[in-house]
Structure 1
Amino acid sequence: MNRKTLMSIAAAALGLMLVFIWLAGGFVAKLPTQTQLSTGERAGDTLQMEYTTIAESRSFSGSMQARQQANLSARITARVADVLVDAGDVVEAGDVLLRLESDDLSARVRQQEQGLAAAQARVNEARLNFQRSEQLVSQGLLPEARLDEVRAQRDSAEAELNRAREALSEARTSEGFSVIVAPFSGVISRRAVFTGDTATPGMHLVSLYDPETLRLEASISESALGLLAIGDELPVRLDVLKQDVRGRVVEIEPAADTASRSFIVRLVLTTPDTLYPGMYGKVTVPVGERQGLFVPQAWIEQQGQLTFVWVDTEQGIERRIVRLGDVFSQEQQPWVEIVAGLQAGDHVVKR
């Protein structure tokens, strides 16, 4: 084996060794790791870590729901003749929302009206016959049996009149099913049919809700339920508003969901009229207090997957890896909780 070959093998071995050392982190400075929690005094660009007492809370998801809402369905089979509203329209109680074809129903109403008129005529005739027969019987010109016969005819005619009245009322009610009206004032949230569609009994036609009755319905775990009471005000975060608002607890359902072991809590929000059913929100429930260490978010640096701060020690300024917790607003800037890597008394330096 010549000298050139030996040098190539040695160079390859050296390169392979350097790769292994690099993969093992041999060329990266070792960063000390310590554990603790803080926020404290600030002097210039140095912050001395001190434990700060903060309110501890838990967040629960919820969505906006209207207490008064309705899904209107058809009660007869008929073609949709006219749809007068669309999603987003504001309606008043009693406004006509859509109409179904009702020619056959109207014809049935007219038939029942005529039947009622005929029944009324028969009743009038039967009553006159009864009065005449009653006079003749009192004069002894007709037997008592004849009076019983005309009385039965009169009663039968009056019963037929009542049946005709009920039939007419039923026909008019069926005709009324062809006109769909708003049961209360609100906003149309969905229109499910169009002109020309065929509606069948139970088929969904339109939905509406009252925006004045919107509530945030949140599922609160039973461990936090004991901390709530009717009338409590809690902070609520709505994604659509990108800000926190206040919510007042107005209802707590006294039965838990057996699967999630949570209770439905409803809150009225102090928000502008820009909310709709189904919008997502989070309600924060205070559950006590705890102590922590906090650092301004701007003082925290990140390199890859590691987060660290600069600490002033007796040996000089050193970089220390930390583990972050929740973010809080303090002094009009975001502060981050340090759950590991610092302890009370450390001096964090802004670099």
Structure 2
Amino acid sequence: MMAIQRICLALLMLGSLPTLAQIATFTADRTRLPEERWFDGAVAAVNQATVSAQTSATVQELLFDVGDEVPAGAVILRLVSTEQREGLNQAEAALAEARAVLAVETPNQARSKDLLGRKLIPQSEYDAASGRLNAAEARVKNAEAALKAANQRLSYTEVRAPYGGVVSARHVEIGETVHPGTPLMSGFDPGIMRVEVDIPQAVAAQVRELMAARVIAGVDKAIVPERIILFPVADPSTSTVRVRLELPLENFGLYPGQFVKAAFTTGNTERLLVPAASIVHRSEVTGVYVIRDDRPQLRQVRIGGRFGDQIEILAGLEVGERITLDPIAAGILTGAREPD
């Protein structure tokens, strides 16, 4: 005897066999829902960049690697700074020398001006003193600019993250010599993502009118974009229009390059929906228990997409028919074998 039949017999002996009145039912009806067109899309990071060297040096220390989370402004890599520090020392010495000369020429020019006023020196001597003072002031300004540049070059030996994110690639090794423009590390901010989709021109007009979409990032995981941007041009080689879906500022576990599905609303349609709990899966057969002649009868159906806790029925069920919400109880009542 089959297992379910033995259960039915035991329940019958105990007087616990469920009755049809005890089984919850649902009357099939059509619900008006948005009609959607699905397309493949690719995830991209809004903040995604490759940090490059800005000075010539040797890699001394790598503080982060691929997959590490990096705070904004953190030092991610250090370069050997011997040459840059020597340049800074020279710039500081040059500035000190220029200021010393200025300290001498300033009172000299003041004395020359006083002597000229008392007609004790010729105009040419005063002009020479003024010229030396102007030259000393110019050398100080030049030395200050050189010191600022030297400090800037030294700062280039500590490479910092422009924003917080995750390291996606490391392009150098310790001991490697780099030059201005050499890629060092790449990263992205996982909290600010978007999806880019290419849709047919015919669909683009409907999308532009309704401006509604969902990003399907997994089973039962739909993300509503905060903003939908349609590019104002089409690709003549593919006859498609690119759409950019800006996702909310939240970490959804997506990463750049990941493929997802994008569902665009193109209109409205009526769908026959039933609760997902009423669906029976038996081997390769999918069905529901339909109430006919006051008895539940298993009927094969063809299902479509899932909408929350409901599933669309494409064929096998008509509007107004009643189905059971507890297929196990219905199977016990009819003596049918349910799948494990």
TM-score bracket relative to the smaller structure: 0.5 to 0.7
TM-score by length of 1: 0.66
- Partner residue of 2:222 out of 239, 242, 245: 245
What is the CA–CA distance in structure 2 between the aligned matches of 1:333 and 1:104, rounded to whole Å? 69
Per the alignment, residue 76 of structure 1 pairs with: 55
Q: CA deviation at 1:257?
A: 4.2
Question: Which of these residues, 327, 331, 351, is aligned with residue 304 of structure 2?
Answer: 327
Root-mean-square deviation (Å): 3.8
Measured against aligned partners, the alpha-carbon deviations of 1:142-198 in whole angstroms (never above 9, x if no partner) come to 112211111011111111111111111111111111110011222222222221122
Partner deviation per Cα, 1:187-219 (whole Å, 9 max, x = no partner)? 222222221122222121112222221122222
Contact persistence 1:190–1:207 (CA under 8 A): yes
Instruction: Give the CA deviation at 1:105.
Output: 0.9
State yes or no: 1:162 paired with 2:162.
no
Q: 1:119 aligns with which of 88, 92, 98?
A: 98
The answer for unaligned runs of 5 or more in structure 1 is: 1-49, 303-323, 345-351
CA distance in 2, matches of 1:75, 1:160: 27
Partner of 2:51: helix, strand, or coil? strand
Matches within 5 A, 1:83-94: 83-94=62-73
Q: Is the 8 A contact 1:220 1:265 kept in 2?
A: no
Q: Larger Rg: 1 or 2?
A: 1
Contact 2:212 2:265 in 1 (8 A): no
Instruction: Tell me by how many angstroms 1:106 deviates.
Output: 0.6
C-alpha distance in 2 between matches for 1:94 and 1:162: 31
The one-character-per-residue Cα deviations of 1:66-118 (angstroms, maximum 9, x if unpaired) are 21222101122211000001122222222110011110111011001101111
2:146 is the alignment partner of 1:146:
no
**Aligned pairs (5 A) from 1:35-50:** none
Task: Give the AA of the match of 1:328.
Answer: G
Q: Percent identity?
A: 27
Among 171, 194, 199, the residue aligned to 1:220: 199
Shift of 1:253: 4.1
List alignment gaps of at least 5 residues for structure 2: 1-28, 274-278, 286-301, 319-340
Q: 1:224 to 1:157 in 2, by over 3 A?
A: same
What is the TM-score with the length of structure 2 in the denominator? Answer: 0.68
Aligned residue for 2:167? 188
Aligned partner of residue 256 in structure 1, secondary structure: strand
Change in 2 beyond 3 A, CA 1:54/1:73: same
- Provide the residue aligned with 1:309 in structure 2: none
The alignment partner of 2:187 has SS state of strand
Q: How many residues of Structure 1 are paired with residues of Structure 2 in the alignment?
A: 273
The whole-number CA distance in structure 1 between the counterparts of 2:118 and 2:246 is 82
Instruction: Find the counterpart in structure 2 of residue 320 from structure 1.
Output: none
Q: Aligned partner of 1:327: which letter?
A: G
Listed one character per residue, the Cα deviations across residues 106-141 of structure 1 (whole Å, up to 9, x for unaligned) are 101100110111111111111111011111111221
Q: Quick one: distance in 2 between partners of 1:131 and 1:190?
A: 62
Q: In the alignment, is the contact (CA less than 8 A) between 1:217 and 1:264 conserved in 2? A: yes
SS of 2:203 mapped into structure 1: helix
2:254 maps to amino acid: L
